[in-house]
Amino acid sequence: MPNEAQSPYLPIPMHVLHAYYESTDRSLKTLELSFDEPQDAREFFAAFNPGQFCLLSVIGKGEAALGVASAAWEGDFVRFTVQKMGSVTTALHNLKPGDPIGIRGPLGNGFPLENWKGKNLVIIGGGCAFSTLYALTKHLHHPSNRGDYSKMTVIYGTRTSGLCMYKQDIAAWHQRDDMEVHQAVDVPEEDWLHHVGYVPDVVKEVSPSPVNSVAVVCGPPIMTKYTLPALVGLGFTPETIFTSLEKRMKCGVGKCGRCNLGPKYICKDGPVFSLAELNALPADL
């Protein structure tokens, strides 16, 4: 009686469609992956929600968890931006168009978009953690989605302008009349026309209204640590502040135990949590 049940550890076969550097220092590279089997693409996009992540698999090297940086309407591909950190991410950086790759996903809950309908969205990102917020913004830009939400404000900070991701697109966002964009760099740069300073300070400066609003924060731990109280200071309640957590992950499906945070697993119960939910969990991050 052979068991042919689909393994949650079996990656979906894909190949690299495009690979290009995202930052001027070449630490960030974007991969756009396309499905080998059309059926897999249909199943993936039927399940996909912005804010979810995948485990990218380079055979012989291992797997790395990365947030999806594209919206479903963009086409039959999935975008990831990879920071070169260790052996797997180095292998990912070395991939060329046409190379095979596997992904497992989409995993996790993603942003609770249904509950956000009719609200103002304040989207706050820092560094390469902006990838899932980029997916969210792209998703919201689609004409069939944009009308479901009210005012949209994006605040995006990076250490330097060179580390800013999706530069062309974000430059175009400044021209849009259906959203407000605030970009920031940590230290002054010549010809920089936007904010200078750390994200929590920029949030205070922009001072988005908490009335009928939700804020979603994705960034490095230090940024998140200071941005969440800044939002509370502006009058946002813990139920209206959301963040996406990260921990080391292996299985991505709530089995290997690694991303355990109190009784939750970040991979399957998260990665998106409200501040109210986080306040009820141990500070084991």
Partner 1 sequence: MNLILKKDQLNHLLNAWRQDYEVYAPQSLENFTHFLPLQDGFELAFDKAHNTRIPPKALFLPTSEALLKFTRFGGYEQVPSETAPRLIFGIRPCDAHAVTMLDTVFEQERYMDPHWVARRDAAVLIGLGCHVPCQTGFCTTVGSGPFNHAGLDAILTDLGEIFLVETLTEKGERLFTQLEIATEEQSTQASEGQQAAAASMPIAFETEWLKEKLDQNFVSPYWEEVSRSCLGCGVCTFLCPTCFCFDIVDEAQRGERVRNWDTCMFRTYSLEASGHNPRPSRVERTRQRLSHKYSYWVDQINQIGCTGCGRCVRYCPVGLDIRAMLRKAHQLPSEVAHAQ
* Residues engaged in binding partner 1 (CB under 8 A): 1-11, 13, 59-63, 85-86, 89, 99-100, 102, 220-221, 246-248, 250-251, 253-258, 260, 262-263, 268, 282-285
Minimum Å distance from CB 252 to partner 1? Answer: 9
Q: Which two tokens stand for residue 151?
A: 């005012």
E strand or H helix that includes residue 93? helix 87-93
Q: Are the C-beta atoms of residues 107 and 268 closer than 8 Å to each other? A: yes
Give me the least distance between CB of 179 and partner 1, in Å please: 30
Tell me whether residue 179 or residue 223 sits nearer to partner 1 (CB atom): 223
CB of 188 to partner 1, least distance (A): 26
Q: Interior CA angle at 112 toward 107 and 114, to 5°?
A: 125
Task: Record the tokens describing residue 145, joined without a space.
Answer: 């989605």
Strands 213-218 and 241-244: parallel
Which residue lies nearer to partner 1 by CB, 147 or 282?
282
The C-alpha atoms of residue 279 and residue 246 are separated, in whole angstroms, by: 16
Helix (H) or strand (E) run with residue 126 in it: strand 120-126
| Residue for token pair 């292998």 | 91
* Minimum gap (Å) between residue 270 Cβ and partner 1: 14
Q: In whole angstroms, what is the distance from residue 244 CA to residue 225 CA?
A: 12
**Do residues 184 and 194 touch, judged by C-beta distance below 8 A?**
yes
The nearer residue to partner 1, 165 or 179, going by C-beta atoms, is 165
Instruction: Tell me the closest approach of the beta carbon of residue 131 to partner 1, in angstroms.
Output: 15
Would you say 4 or 191 has its CB closer to partner 1?
Answer: 4
Q: How many CA atoms lie within 13 A of 148 on its CB side?
A: 12
Choose between 179 and 267: whose C-beta lies nearer to partner 1: 267
Taking the least distance from each CB to partner 1, the nearer of 59 and 172 is 59
Q: How far is the CB of 102 from partner 1 (least distance, A)?
A: 7
Q: Are 187 and 203 in contact (CB under 8 A)?
A: no
